[in-house]
Chain A
Amino acid sequence: MLVIKDLHAKIDNKEILRGINLEIKAGEVHAIMGPNGAGKSTLSSVLAGNDKFEVSEGTVTFNGKDLLALPPEDRAREGVFLSFQYPIEIPGVSMVNFMRTALNEHRKYNNLEPLSASDFLKKMRDKKNLVEIDSNLTNRSVNEGFSGGEKKKNEIFQMAMLEHKLAILDETDSGLDIDALRIVANGVNKLKTKENATIVITHYQRLLDYIVPDFVHVLYKGRIVKTGGKELALELEEKGYDWIKKEFED
């Protein structure tokens, strides 16, 4: 589904990603872990198409298409969904309006008619139930005055609405208490199918108790320096990142 080859990216001439290689197949869950500043969030931004970062080398193919050639909105319409670490507040724009606009743009891209108002509301209702989001959150303006947990739940709700092929969860666990974490993780698990894939970017192992990864990659200084199964996450939790840094420096 996703093939990343020798990906280099920089911001303000500072190289953050220095040769990432990664292949993700449908149905898989990949965790990307690593110390602060390793480039985890940069990777997710680059994949979603944030033009703050400049890709200097490498290729990314998504279902056979050159992902890097597409603007962010087309990447989203192709099925890439980035769950933001810091979702943006948009006062005055209702969730309903926002979701309808986004969903219909996806449909247009895929040569589908816009959803009727009643079908759309039904879909909102179904997905809300699926991800256990409070029904009154969707009556408010996008993320306005939402707590940290509410914002993250709202991201998962949007992911459900837009029916992604590849979900990139950027530090979705940060700032969540254990109950909110469980709800968010349950939402992600329910949305998982054999046809879609998930990248979980996290600093801590705890989220991976709930969203169990098939692979764990350790990102350090802009490269994937170690790959293993879910037990690698436990090892990192126990020993920290120092041994990896050390291994890498040596």
Chain B
Amino acid sequence: MNITCRVVNLQEEYTALFDEHLSTLQAGAPDKMNALRLEAMESFKKLGIPSNKVEDYKYSNLQPFFKGDFNLALSNDAAQAGVTATFNCEVPALNTYNIFMVNGWYSHQNDISLLPKGVIVGSLLEKAKENPALFEKYYGTRTPIGSDGLAAMNTAFAQDGAFVYIPKGVVVDKPIQIVNIMTGDSDRLVFQRNLIIADENSQLKVMLCEHTLSTQKYVINTVTELFANEHSILDMYNIQNQHNFTTQVAGYYASQKKHTVLQTNHLTLHAGFARNNIKIKMDDEFCESHMNGLYLLDKNQHVDNFTFVDHAYPNCVSHELFKGVMDDSSVGCFTGKVLVRKDAQKTNAYQSNNNLILCESAKMNTKPQLEIYADDVKCSHGATIGQLDDDAMFYLRARGINPSEARILLMYAFAYEVLEKIKVEALKEQIKGLTERRFRGDFDKCDSCVACGADGQMSCG
């Protein structure tokens, strides 16, 4: 089922839309999802879509993006239509387990039979019904529906997404790749909800790849909840490769238990207007968390990474590294909030955000925020905004290298620190190649932007 809506006044119309289609939204969905749906809607009515008057959204006014004419898929019909057939993805060469999502709905998956016993991968809607206890234990427990209007909106509207559960003690040999595809011939509003759980002593690498296959305008509101239970190791790679008319607000809400290692990587190679809310809660002692990000912007792109690490317990470590390159009239934003609660002694929290501005019209806003209530901690933060180093440029030119080539080499060297953190070797090589092509400028013209893509074919980042 597909509906068309026109939105001018945000809250009222979204509320009306919700009320009108509530029975469709609820149909077949698990009870907990529907209960939270109503609660979230109440909250959304109060909070609304954040404008830049909301402190946490100071650099990103989202209201204009949620206005306009959109199509909204209230069922998975379109996802079944085999639209992924034209999707020529290079990533299978990476040897991953793939799940395909179309416009927020589960479409199909490959090779899942080879997954270790007990691993659950598939549609959130279906898997929730098959595993109600598991779903109820985790769903919605990390999402701040009471304080974030967009998280509330997602919880109110979302019907499907990806579900990944790795049982106790299982190590998944290959990464699980969730390929999120936006396609169709009309402008579209999408709500997607993912739930990723690594149970005790399990290990999982999961990739969330975001793509646009057609030139339509997409407004995407995604929430991904991640749970790392005791002694688990969970790596998440988010690769964003969308055309310039895409607006994506993505919330990543993670919770870590004792002796876990969580690594999140946000690689924004190409996006129109992107906002990532990355919130990690250390829900016990001895957690280790690594948050990495790389954002490459040009034209009038806008990427805002908002990170929040909640050191709620003692003896935890967090490392945060975000780097960005801004060209043309693009705007980059970074907020790095670190909260060390009163009893979180022996916390080590390190944060750095480094930015390269390539021309005068590009802009970067960076805001480290440390809130420390414990007295035996080590915390550091550093934010830099600069240009390419003249001495380094001169060194390369003095070897006979063209200034344009020298720039590319130096930008690549700048980004490399983040690329190096990618632990999936094949993905690392691929992202390195994409990054270099992005800097060479032959990337936004062909692969990532369908506007110029040949024959509707594109390769997947």
Bound: A75/B401 CA distance, A: 11
Binds B, one of A80-88, A123-131, A193-201, A237-245: A80-88
Within 8 A of B (CB), among A65-96: 71-73, 75-77, 82, 84, 86-88, 90-93
**Contact for B400 among A73, A86, A90, CB less than 8 A:** A73
B54 at the interface (CB under 8 A from A): no
Contact: B413 with A92, CB < 8 Å? yes
Binds B, one of A18-26, A100-108, A172-180: A100-108
Bound: A109/B401 CA distance, A: 11
A50 at the interface (CB under 8 A from B): yes
B432 / chain A contacts, CB cutoff of 8 Å: 92
With A72-B394, A73-B400, A76-B398 already in contact, the answer to whether A92 and B415 are too (CB < 8 A) is: yes
Contact: A88 with B401, CB < 8 Å? no
B405 at the interface (CB under 8 A from A): yes
B392 at the interface (CB under 8 A from A): yes
B116 at the interface (CB under 8 A from A): no
Against B, the Cβ 8 Å flags (1 = close, 0 = not) of A27-50 are 000000000000000000000111
Within 8 A of A (CB), among B395-423: 395-403, 405, 409-410, 412-413, 415-417, 419-420
Bound: A51/B415 CA distance, A: 26
A90 / chain B contacts, CB cutoff of 8 Å: 392, 396, 409-410, 413
Bound: A249/B401 CA distance, A: 43
A84 / chain B contacts, CB cutoff of 8 Å: 395, 398
A52 at the interface (CB under 8 A from B): yes
With A90-B409, A93-B409 already in contact, the answer to whether A76 and B392 are too (CB < 8 A) is: no
B360 at the interface (CB under 8 A from A): no
Contact: B417 with A91, CB < 8 Å? yes
Question: In the complex, how many residues of chain B place their beta carbon closer than 8 angstroms to a beta carbon of chain A?
Answer: 25
B390 at the interface (CB under 8 A from A): yes
B396 / chain A contacts, CB cutoff of 8 Å: 88, 90
**Contact for A88 among B395, B412, B416, B420, CB less than 8 A:** B395
Contact: B405 with A101, CB < 8 Å? yes
Contact: B412 with A92, CB < 8 Å? yes
- Least CB distance, B396 to chain A, in whole angstroms: 8
A248 at the interface (CB under 8 A from B): no
Bound: A181/B381 CA distance, A: 40
**Contact for A77 among B392, B400, B413, CB less than 8 A:** B400
**Contact for A76 among B389, B390, B400, B417, CB less than 8 A:** B400
A102 / chain B contacts, CB cutoff of 8 Å: 399-401
**Contact for A82 among B398, B415, B417, CB less than 8 A:** B398
Q: Which of A71, A84, A87, A91 has the most CB of B within 10 A?
A: A91
Which residue of A has the minimal Cβ distance to B410? A90
B410 / chain A contacts, CB cutoff of 8 Å: 90
The total of Cβ contacts below 8 Å across the A-B interface reads 76
B55 at the interface (CB under 8 A from A): no
**Contact for A52 among B389, B390, B419, CB less than 8 A:** B390
- Least CB distance, B387 to chain A, in whole angstroms: 14
- Least CB distance, A105 to chain B, in whole angstroms: 5
Contact: A88 with B415, CB < 8 Å? no
Q: Which of A48, A73, A106 has the most CB of B within 10 A?
A: A73
B391 at the interface (CB under 8 A from A): yes
Contact: A105 with B400, CB < 8 Å? yes
Bound: A73/B420 CA distance, A: 30
Bound: A52/B410 CA distance, A: 19
A73 / chain B contacts, CB cutoff of 8 Å: 397-398, 400-403
Bound: A37/B341 CA distance, A: 53
- Least CB distance, A106 to chain B, in whole angstroms: 5
Bound: A72/B412 CA distance, A: 22
- Least CB distance, A199 to chain B, in whole angstroms: 14
A202 at the interface (CB under 8 A from B): no
With A52-B390, A92-B420 already in contact, the answer to whether A109 and B413 are too (CB < 8 A) is: no
Contact: A92 with B416, CB < 8 Å? yes
A205 at the interface (CB under 8 A from B): no
Bound: A158/B400 CA distance, A: 11
Bound: A73/B400 CA distance, A: 4
With A92-B419, A92-B420, A93-B413 already in contact, the answer to whether A101 and B398 are too (CB < 8 A) is: no
A162 at the interface (CB under 8 A from B): yes
Which residue of B has the minimal Cβ distance to A77? B400
Which residue of A has the minimal Cβ distance to B397? A72
- Least CB distance, B101 to chain A, in whole angstroms: 32
Within 8 A of B (CB), among A129-163: 141, 158, 162
A93 / chain B contacts, CB cutoff of 8 Å: 409, 412-413, 416
B409 / chain A contacts, CB cutoff of 8 Å: 90, 93, 98, 101
Contact: B401 with A105, CB < 8 Å? yes
Bound: A87/B391 CA distance, A: 9
Which residue of A has the minimal Cβ distance to B432? A92
With A72-B394, A84-B395 already in contact, the answer to whether A91 and B400 are too (CB < 8 A) is: no
- Least CB distance, A83 to chain B, in whole angstroms: 10
The 4 A-B pairs at the shortest CB distance, nearest first, are namely A92-B416, A76-B400, A72-B397, A88-B395
24 inter-chain pairs at a CB distance below 8 angstroms, sorted by A residue, are A49-B397, A50-B394, A50-B398, A52-B390, A52-B394, A72-B394, A73-B398, A73-B402, A75-B398, A76-B397, A86-B391, A88-B389, A88-B391, A88-B396, A90-B392, A90-B410, A90-B413, A91-B417, A92-B417, A93-B409, A93-B412, A93-B413, A98-B399, A105-B401
5 new A-B contacts at CB < 8 Å, known A92-B432, A102-B400, A105-B405: A72-B394, A73-B402, A75-B398, A82-B398, A90-B409
